[in-house]
Amino acid sequence: MIYPAHSVPNRFATLCGDGTMLTITLDDSGMPVQRTKSAKFFDADADALFVAADQDGDNYTFASYHGKVQVVNVAGEAAQAAEPWSLVSAADAKAGWRPGGYQPLSLQLASGRLYVAMHPKGKEGSHKEPAKEIWVFDLASKKRVAKLPGERSTVLTTSRGDAPKLYALATETGVITAYDAGPKPKKLRQSTPFSEFGTQMDSQ
């Protein structure tokens, strides 16, 4: 995966297996003129990051397999990682709650909310497990504020605008569930099956 910088059109970054991020800057002809590695900010063996991140300008928000949130800024010559924070309490961790799926989180910037597909009894290899629940977090306080039925979702995306919606795709069935992503999130409706092994989704 590549993560383009928003403020520097000729710059992008990519995750590395050694727990760093490589930033590449191109000249106007598209040739690389600089490659800079960040400091190590995650352990790919102990707690890897899902590569499907959500973008807010130059910042990308990642989830880790064990339920950490990691924000990385890619504007500079070297990526800068913020201090991670946890999606799970001690009780949640004991019950094995972890993120799962192919696109397991989505930001809704206007409301300052983060939506994450979560499953219990997580273990090594369960990182693609569909959601039992979708957890809703307030980004300012980093606290969970709601839970939604997961509908075995593996892909999440949110719409923009004054009446935002959360859309959750279940890869195994091809069904999309729509939720109200406003102040009081709730399930709205479901589609009929229409995709075969969908693993990514975007909304405008």
Q: Which tens digit of pLDDT belongs to each residue from 98-114?
A: 999 999 999 999 899 99
Dihedral in degrees, nearest 10, Cα atoms 83, 88, 90, 96: -130
Strand pairing class (32-37; 54-56): unpaired
Alpha carbons 10 and 25: distance in angstroms, whole number: 6
Topology given in CATH for the domain delimited by 1-86 = Thrombin, subunit H (2.40.10)
Q: With 80 as the cut, is the pLDDT of residue 204 above it?
A: no
β-bridge partners, 115: 106, 136
The band of 195, judged by pLDDT with boundaries at 50, 70 and 90, is confident
Every domain of the chain and the residues it spans:
1-86, 87-198
> Is pTM, for the whole model, over 0.85?
yes
What length is written for the chain?
204
Q: Which tens digit of pLDDT belongs to each residue from 47-102?
A: 999 999 999 999 999 999 999 999 999 999 999 999 999 999 999 999 999 999 99
